[in-house]
Amino acid sequence: MAGITLGVAALIIVISVMNGFQKEVRDRMLSVLAHVEVFDATGALPDWKNTALEVQRNPAVKGTAPYVDGQAMIIRDDVMRGVILRGILPDEESKVSEVASKIKYGNWADLKPGEFNIVLGSALAASLHVRIGEKITLAAPEGQMTPAGMVPRLKAFTVVGVFEAGHYEFDSGMAFMHIDDAQKFFRLSAPSGLRLRIQDMLKAPQIARELARSLSGDLLIRDWSQQNKNYFAAVKTEKTMMFIILTMIIAVAAFNLVSTLVMTVTDKQADIAILRTLGASPASIMKIFVIQGATVGLAGTAIGVIMGIIVSLNIDVIVPFIEHLLGVQFLPKDIYVISALPSDLQAGDVSTIGLVAVTLALLATIYPSWRASRVKPAEALRYE
């Protein structure tokens, strides 16, 4: 019973923590990314205003904003970094992302058309050793043809803000500018497309399919899960493998249940034989040991589920207490972006773990119970 309890509790706690990390990283990513993007294969969406009106007919869409996406080389003294540039309308961007609330230094409102200002990620700004008000140079991917040949197109920008999304990929390789400046820099006649905010981000794939059927024109649509497909596939695989590995703890406990019941059957052969001589059927003998094993399994599972739920719901209190008691820090702030251990307890995971534990416990009773039902009274009582 103790083995099943510990196995169930450990599995619930670990899966809840993994869910917590996944939710935390996903939320930080979606503070920068849009839930759905609508764009044209040509790289420009001239009729974006009408497209926005079409999109907003879907009741699940909370907000839309145009954007320009492109890559460039950012230069500061002798330091060069590749960067993803995103042109936005500052007032509209807050409808589809939370970047404005992630500004660490400077002012988001300073992204004004024609002034060629830029907002950098915190890790990118640190690697370039640049501060608010200083200049950086951007090199466009397409050069400019001159009589002397092809030369790079360079443009100076003023740093007016630094954001920190809490996701290293974005903090180290993304920058924002006004959409008009981005169109001039990339020589585009129109925005690249539209970014959408959905009421329920988990329904983004479904909404994307609905929009693909309803929107006019040859438009491409992708949701946030497609933009980070490899990451979320890796997390799902890791969670599945962790579930299988930790289920082995419950399986070992169930195997111990088998050995315990086999020993009980061996020890109680004489009693079983007496019951048989009194008229007990093999099925009733089998039922006794099934009930015994099932009781152990159900009790162990119930206690394990209660323990797992209590720890998962209070992990934000338990872990700091252990850190304070031992004088250690499991997630140092200077190494990990997430310094507190997150937990996301989901009813579906708890019910699945409980069902697996009970099933293994019931399966463990089959062989010992069958063996008990096969005891022959004459042979069992021969030496009694």
* Residue 173 near residue 84, CB atoms below 8 Å: yes
pLDDT value for 334? 54
pLDDT value for 309? 92
- Rg, the chain, Cα only: 31
Spatial CA neighbour of 92 closest among 13, 195, 1 = 195
Query: pTM for this one?
Result: 0.70
Which segments of the chain have a pLDDT < 50?
none
| Distance between CA atoms of residues 16 and 22, nearest Å | 10
| Distance between CA atoms of residues 12 and 251, nearest Å | 15
Question: Residues of 54-84 as b/e, b for ≥16 C-beta within 10 angstroms?
Answer: bbeebebbebbbbbbbbebebbbeeeebebe
pLDDT value for 332? 65
pLDDT value for 222? 86
| Placement of tokens 């409808």 in the chain | 95
* Residue 275 near residue 372, CB atoms below 8 Å: no
| Distance between CA atoms of residues 62 and 60, nearest Å | 6
Name 307's Cβ contacts closer than 8 Å, sequence gap at least 6. 5, 8, 9
Helix or strand (DSSP H, E) at 368 = helix 366-373
Q: Is 102 exposed, middle or buried (0-12, 13-18, 19+ CB in 10 A)?
A: buried
Can you name the residues that pair with 163 across neighbouring β-strands? 103, 121
pLDDT value for 167? 77
Spatial CA neighbour of 167 closest among 117, 240, 224, 217 = 224
Spatial CA neighbour of 17 closest among 318, 249, 229, 299 = 318
